[in-house]
Amino acid sequence: EYLFYWRLKLDGSLDFEIRLSGELSTNLPSAADDPHNPAHGVLVAPGVNAQIHQHMFCARLDVAVDGTKNTVSEVDVVPLPPSPASNPYGNAFKAVETVLRTEHDAVRTCDATRARTWKIANAEGKTNPITGKPVAYKLVPFTRGPAQPTLLTDRASCAVNRKGSFADANLWVTPWDAAERYPAGEFTPQGKGGEGLPEWVGKGRSVEGQRLVVWHAFGVCHVPRVEDFPVMPCETTGFTLKPDGFFAGNPAIDLPPETNEKSEQSKCCG
């Protein structure tokens, strides 16, 4: 069972969270398995094996940051080499922004070692009054739950990869097209594989200064626990869209404080 939550916050950010619950997929340990230590799962009860597995999702984000024409860039935080002049103590690092100009450029994966995010910026000349740069939002992956891998199955031989190859990367960017709706194609079970995002990005279209769709693929690699049986609590995953130079300051800074009407202290100061 999946529970989906969208939250529009007072600071202008937009959270998307998925909670995974329900019952595990289980089986008897196979004859070739050690009945006490299954090779591809976890023993969650006597004679009950719960398989190690993945859940893969893809959010189709029809973005329009202060206008219909946008550009996407990748932002990595990288350390600077030691230098007597510019980095004498070896403690300097900076954000490096790379514009993703074509569909081919924009097939990207997460990298927690670089604090990688993706910026979606206005391409119509609308700029931030403080920085002078285009107003933007940034996509921050895995803000709900830990960072997780792309598909772990073999790309060359596994049918899951052929029909669900959108999950081989975490980011795809395409020009907006009303006919391009589903990342695995229109008819996934009946499809031959390769439909959807792999087919579309094969055109190599420009995605700079266009009306765009940003596709964010992510998931959960679930190694079951005994505590997940018979009905599991929640695993979580998700992402956040944060304003990045969209406002001239914190838009939530002037919110009135909340008052706890049950507190005696709320009555003391009139």
pLDDT number for residue 269: 60
Q: Which of 231, 155, 162, 156 is nearest to 194 (CA)?
A: 162
Element of type H or E holding 53: strand 53-61
**pTM for the model:** 0.92
CA atoms lying within 13 Å on the CB side of residue 230? 1
HEC string of 189-246?
CCCCCCCCHHHHHCCCCECCCECEEEEEEEEEEECCCHHHCCEEEEEEEEEEEEECCC
- In this structure, are residues 6 and 19 in contact, taking their beta carbons and an 8 Å threshold? no
pLDDT number for residue 59: 98
For 71, phi then psi, to 5°, come to -135, 140
Residue labelled with tokens 């049986």: 229
Asked if residue 134 has a cis previous peptide bond (ω within 30° of 0), the answer is: no
Residue 47 in tokens: 């004679």
HEC string of 243-266?
ECCCCCCCCCCCCCCCCCCCCHHH
- Please report, in tens digits, the pLDDT of each residue of the chain (270 residues total): 899 999 999 999 999 999 999 999 999 998 888 888 999 999 999 999 999 999 999 999 999 999 999 999 999 999 999 999 999 999 999 999 999 999 999 999 999 999 999 999 999 999 999 999 999 999 999 999 999 999 999 988 998 888 899 999 999 999 999 999 999 998 877 777 789 999 999 999 999 999 999 999 999 999 999 999 999 999 999 999 999 999 999 999 988 878 787 887 766 665
pLDDT number for residue 238: 98
Q: Which of 167, 189, 156, 140 is nearest to 53 (CA)?
A: 167
What secondary structure does DSSP assign to 80-105, as a single string? PPPBTTTBTTS--EEEEEEE--BTTT
Give all strands (DSSP E) within 70-189, no chain letters. 70-79, 93-99, 117-122, 136-141, 171-175
- In this structure, are residues 153 and 161 in contact, taking their beta carbons and an 8 Å threshold? yes
| Rounded distance between C-alpha atoms, residue 117 and residue 113, angstroms | 11
pLDDT tens per residue, range 36-59: 899 999 999 999 999 999 999 999
